[in-house]
Structure 1
Amino acid sequence: MIGDFSVGKTSLVAKFVRQTFSDKYLTTVGVKIDTKLLKLPDGNQVKFILWDIAGSDSLTTTTASYLRGAAGFLLVVDGTRLPTWNSALNLRLAVEKQIGSKPFIILLNKADLQEQWEMNEQAIEEKTKQGWKLLTTSAKNGMNVEQAFLELALLMT
């Protein structure tokens, strides 16, 4: 899980792993690791080892070290803050330089706040045409959270 500060990475992990959500914001320091088994449509299971990396708009040496060995990643954007979209695009390039091309999905998070949405539909459409996978999610109401992890698992297997 990578993305800018306060985009909802920790909340998405909490919803996926524990089916919980909190409105209280606690910044992640360093990295928090969780695990969860996910059953795939073919009956097989995938064990996710989720690294919830502290938010940043750039890739630090420390953050880069957390990415080694990753089979894929979720790149989280706050749909109510357009600058997090640009940060995410820069982070994706930096990650690719560090670990090579890996499966990823961009999560446009905070869909429960649609009235505050700042996303540029044209930019989203452009990335979709380039073959990028994007999902609109909400850690608060659970929209597409399980689906995001399922789709990432399918891309990685």
Structure 2
Amino acid sequence: MAQPKKKPIFIKKGGSQRSRPAIKRWNIKTLLIGDGGVGKTSLVERFVSASFDVDYKITIGVNVMNKMVVLSETENVNLVINDVAGQPRFESMRSTFYLGAQAVLAVFDLTRKQSLDNLVYVWLPELMSSNPPKPNFPQMQILLIANKSDLEDLRSISDEEILEAIEEMKKKFPQSIFMGPLETSAKDNIAVDEAFVDIARQYVMRLKEKMSK
């Protein structure tokens, strides 16, 4: 009579091992908008590569860079960062870069009042007309960035003027969620990581709320 085959015995070494939790990865298309020279590219380079270039470089069309943000042990966010050209001569091509944007850093220069006004009356209207709300996604997150805080002696915008601009944005674009203002300095690395991480965290929170309904 044939003997039944014995099943092999596997011995685990080193004691019990806990399985690692699955990691959820979110992809968020993030825009930086604002006038030329406000420091959008410097903010991106400081965040992505921890560098700062004192020489001004004009962005042609759009620069796209990626950075992974770790929210927790089980959640990562891949920020697809679109640094949009600020010069008026690129206005005709900008609308194509706005499509699908989920989070926006609206950047102005604390030493140039016109750069704040242009966010209200040029950049945000342009963005909203090219990227209408989507029913299955959260409202667009817009974080107002007051850049070049290191140039305190040259500051030409008061806190009251910034708050007035935010109220005007909220009235003109009630379909979006405005955050900030957050003062940053790409040169001195002040609140740069905070800006990108905060908008990623807030968007994921609202996305999960939307999905749970």
Out of 31, 44, 48, the position equivalent to 2:79 is 48
Give the partner amino acid of 1:49. Answer: V
Out of 8, 30, 44, the position equivalent to 2:61 is 30
For 1:1-157, list aligned pairs within 5 A.
1-41=32-72, 43-56=74-87, 60-90=91-121, 91-100=123-132, 102-126=140-164, 127=166, 132-133=178-179, 134-157=181-204
- Cα deviation code 1:103-131 (max 9, x no counterpart): 11110000010110111321222326957
* 1:57 to 1:89, Cα distance in 2 relative to 1, 3 A: farther
Structure 1 runs not aligned, ≥5 long:
none
* 1:62 to 1:132, Cα distance in 2 relative to 1, 3 A: same
Segments of 4+ in structure 1 off by > 3 A?
Answer: 56-59, 128-132
Distance 1:7 1:31 in 2: 15
- Aligned-CA RMSD value: 2.1
Give the partner amino acid of 1:98. Answer: S
**Normalising by the residue count of structure 1, what TM-score does the alignment of the two structures yield?**
0.91
* 1:128 to 1:15, Cα distance in 2 relative to 1, 3 A: farther
Are the aligned partners of 1:3 and 1:57 in contact in 2 as well (CA < 8 Å)? no
Select the structure with the greater relative contact order (CA < 8 A; seq sep ≥ 6): 1
Structure 2 runs not aligned, ≥5 long:
1-31, 134-139, 171-176, 205-213
* 1:68 to 1:152, Cα distance in 2 relative to 1, 3 A: same
Deviates more, 1:33-42 or 1:15-24: 33-42
- Number of matched residues? 157
Look up the match of 2:3. Answer: none
**Normalising by the residue count of structure 2, what TM-score does the alignment of the two structures yield?**
0.68
Distance 1:47 1:97 in 2: 26
* 1:124 to 1:42, Cα distance in 2 relative to 1, 3 A: farther
Are the aligned partners of 1:59 and 1:94 in contact in 2 as well (CA < 8 Å)? no
